[in-house]
Amino acid sequence: MSVVPSGKINAMAAVWDATQRSWTLTLWSSQATSAHAVIVDRAAPSEPVATIPMFRVGDVWTAVIGAGSVLDADLYGFRVHGEGPRFDPAKLLVDPEATEIWFPPGHDRDAARIVGRDTIGLSPYGVLPMSAPRTAMAAGPRHSIDDLVIYEIHVRGATMCAGDVDERLRGTFAGLAQHAERIRALGVTAIELLPVHQFDPDEGNYWGYMPLAWSALHNGYAANADEYCGAADDEFRAMVQAFHDRDIEVILDVVYNHTTEEDEVGPTLHLRAIDDAAYYILEPDGLYNDDAGCGNVVRAAHPAAGALILDSLRRFADLGVDGFRFDLGSLLGRDFYGQQQRTSPLIDEITAFAATRGVRLIVEPWDLAAYQVGDAFPGRTWAQWNGKFRDDCRSFLRAENGAAAAFAQRILGSPDLYPDEPWRSINFITAHDGFTLHDLVSYEHKHNLANGWGGTDGTDDNRSWNCGWEGDDPPADIAAGVRALRMQQMKNAFVLLALSAGVPMILAGDEFAQTQGGNNNPYNQDNATTWLDWTRGGRFGELTEFVRELLAVRRVGGSTPIVLHGVDEQPDLSETSHSIAWQRGNLYVMANAWWESLEFAVHADGDWLFAMSSAAPVSAYDNSTRRVTLAPRSTVVLRRPCATLAAGATAAR
């Protein structure tokens, strides 16, 4: 049985010493018997300029490289000999702490799968830094929980089809910066970027969830990556500043639970041939644990792996990032042997780091073997993606029996999961993995053949309803009715999301009915399937304006605890109920998911004004009768007369 290591491991990143004009390269491995640093020039990436033995102190291997000895060469990698089945000194390994990666013209991911195959000139290199790290950016805005509205967006997909962005900048950090004002105008206060870690462009994961180097930005998102070293850092910082200037926080989706090395037959690129058992959770038979569903699971409880994770977080915080969302974060809380635990030293360290730097922590608290929504996750002060909100809201939206009682918990901020802490609930109905909102109301089944898995990939539990026709092209005789109902249902979804307790997260493009053609797992679709089609804003401008006005209305609601009602004073949470109402401070919300009209009585003192609705009420609200009749499958929002909308906002139709 392996001995559980203790203690901390210091940062290992390559360091430039301007006084000595040299670099210090370091590598951690407890099982290596020798290691060499290999320096190459971009002009001849298959020819070593220098191969320098690294000296060992404890489990840290070090080499000092004089700039004069390598001329203009600025690329490096490692060769490592050691005791264990997955050491392969023929492999040129990328530094797991590298802050910039360069892929040679002959890059060949498959060559790295072949044991004993020399991969110099075929595998990625780290780039030697030519200066000391830059000063950390100033802290950005920090919104109160009542003001926080998150907008999940993919850097490349955001602007590949954006006609108002310079063609050269589309799909880049710089391109997204040009859309900062458009995003601000919607009313969101934070963006959550899908992963921007460097990934292997040959791996085929468009989303970016197969990271190669945690501390390096993906060069494919930098417009000037081929022009000079550090371009990705410069453009990322400028993008962050563009959002900060508009009072928008920048949150990163980070992937520390697995890497791009896949399983036993995956490419050998770094960790598996540096110290396999330290960096990955291995089963008793020596195979990789795969609770991430991506081939491997990082042994985050090991100090060496934990150091890589914390170094990456510090680097992104220095680049101005305001918060982190941890993909499959439940895996980071596992113990050394991969078992779930109630407390985790690494989670505690990350929590302390966040407190020191003033950044948000959000976790996706599940993986293939664990579902830790609520207090089962070791980080009790972290916010969480609330998958139960997604499921229960979808069920209520399509009028399932029994859904009203479950969704009532979500409206209240999920007290069954987060007692007295609704701020911990990141509420969402759609996200990058799954249907878009338009597809949720247009497809009852996934349409994933394009992904290459025969339609077997992606969840079958979509809880969607197509409003009477599967797909985006209903026949002429029903088209008007189907499309009107879909518009109504999308508006309903936004109301339920925005006005429940907790923090709403909107999927980018949902405000103009972005479609993926029914594909609910387009992880490998780097094309028009996933790229935001901003021209849909013309066809669905009514929806965009509704969302903008809804978020303005949300801001006047206040933080008063939510009080539930129904068509009468008490909510009907029976099996056959399809309606609910609630007061959120200065707002009163009524939701009728039923397919017939319903009359609601308003059971909150004082006068109320009509604010907005997803469909015109059958009878308008009257303060004298305190009643309003909602159309089938519709929502109505009232507001206090004292609740003044933000400047520039108008009450919706």
pLDDT above 50 (res 651): no
pLDDT tier at 652 (50, 70, 90 boundaries)?
very low
pLDDT of residue 644: 66
pLDDT of residue 134: 87
The separation between CA 434 and the C-alpha centre of its own chain, rounded to angstroms, equals 13
pLDDT of residue 124: 98
Nearest one of 400, 424, 398, 430 to 410, comparing CA atoms: 424
Q: pTM score, two decimals?
A: 0.96
- Rounded-to-integer distance, Cα 318 and Cα 315, Å: 5
Which CATH number covers residue 583?
2.60.40.1180
pLDDT of residue 4: 59
Q: Tell me what the mean pLDDT of segment 504-524 comes to.
A: 98
Q: Is 102 domain-assigned?
A: yes
Give the number of other Cβ atoms within 10 Å of residue 60's Cβ: 16
Domain limits for position 20: 15-127
DSSP annotation of 606: S
pLDDT above 50 (res 653): no
Q: Is 210 domain-assigned?
A: no
β-pairing, 125-127 vs 75-82, is antiparallel
Q: Is 505 domain-assigned?
A: no
Tens-place pLDDT, residues 298-315: 999 999 999 999 999 999
How far is residue 126 from each of residues 20, 94, 218, 308, 394, measured CA to CA in Å?
21, 6, 13, 15, 45
pLDDT of residue 375: 93
Q: What is the SS3 assignment for 285-301?
A: CCCECCCCCCCCCECCC
- Rounded-to-integer distance, Cα 419 and Cα 402, Å: 22
Are 128 and 15 in contact by the 8 Å Cβ rule? The answer is: no
pLDDT of residue 592: 98
Q: Tell me what the mean pLDDT of segment 542-562 comes to.
A: 93
Tens-place pLDDT, residues 247-294: 999 999 999 999 999 999 999 999 999 999 999 999 999 999 999 999
- Rounded-to-integer distance, Cα 437 and Cα 546, Å: 14
Tens-place pLDDT, residues 194-218: 999 999 999 999 999 999 999 999 9
Burial class (CB in 10 A: 0-12, 13-18, 19+), 511: buried
| Residue % of the chain over a pLDDT of 70 | 96
| Residue % of the chain over a pLDDT of 90 | 92
pLDDT of residue 617: 87
Domain closes at, from 127, 160, 192: 127
Q: What ranges make up the beta strands (E) of 113-210?
A: 125-127, 150-153, 190-193, 197-199
pLDDT above 70 (res 2): no
Between 145 and 635, the more confident residue is 635
Tens-place pLDDT, residues 407-450: 999 999 999 999 999 999 999 999 999 999 999 999 999 999 99
Q: Is 570 domain-assigned?
A: yes
pLDDT above 70 (res 646): no
pLDDT of residue 39: 98
Domain closes at, from 87, 109, 127: 127
Helices (H) and strands (E) in the chain, counts: 14, 27
Which CATH number covers residue 81?
2.60.40.10
pLDDT above 70 (res 572): yes
Q: Is 66 domain-assigned?
A: yes
pLDDT of residue 358: 97
**Mean pLDDT for the chain overall:** 95
pLDDT of residue 10: 62
pLDDT of residue 492: 98
Tens-place pLDDT, residues 313-335: 999 999 999 999 999 999 999 99
Q: Is 23 domain-assigned?
A: yes
pLDDT tier at 642 (50, 70, 90 boundaries)?
confident
Q: Is 326 domain-assigned?
A: no
Are 466 and 441 in contact by the 8 Å Cβ rule? The answer is: yes
Please, what is the end-to-end C-alpha distance for the chain in angstroms? Answer: 67
3-state secondary structure of 484: helix
pLDDT of residue 647: 45
pLDDT above 90 (res 645): no
- Rounded-to-integer distance, Cα 252 and Cα 234, Å: 17
Tens-place pLDDT, residues 107-166: 999 999 999 999 999 999 999 998 888 899 999 999 998 899 999 999 999 999 999 999
pLDDT above 70 (res 649): no
Q: Is 90 domain-assigned?
A: yes
Domain count, the chain: 2
Tens-place pLDDT, residues 215-234: 999 999 999 999 999 999 99
Tens-place pLDDT, residues 583-626: 999 999 999 999 999 999 999 999 999 999 999 988 888 899 99
- Rounded-to-integer distance, Cα 90 and Cα 79, Å: 7
pLDDT of residue 559: 73
Nearest one of 365, 300, 370 to 340, comparing CA atoms: 370
pLDDT of residue 285: 94
Domain closes at, from 127, 159, 179: 127
Active site residues: 327, 364
Q: Tell me what the mean pLDDT of segment 493-499 comes to.
A: 98
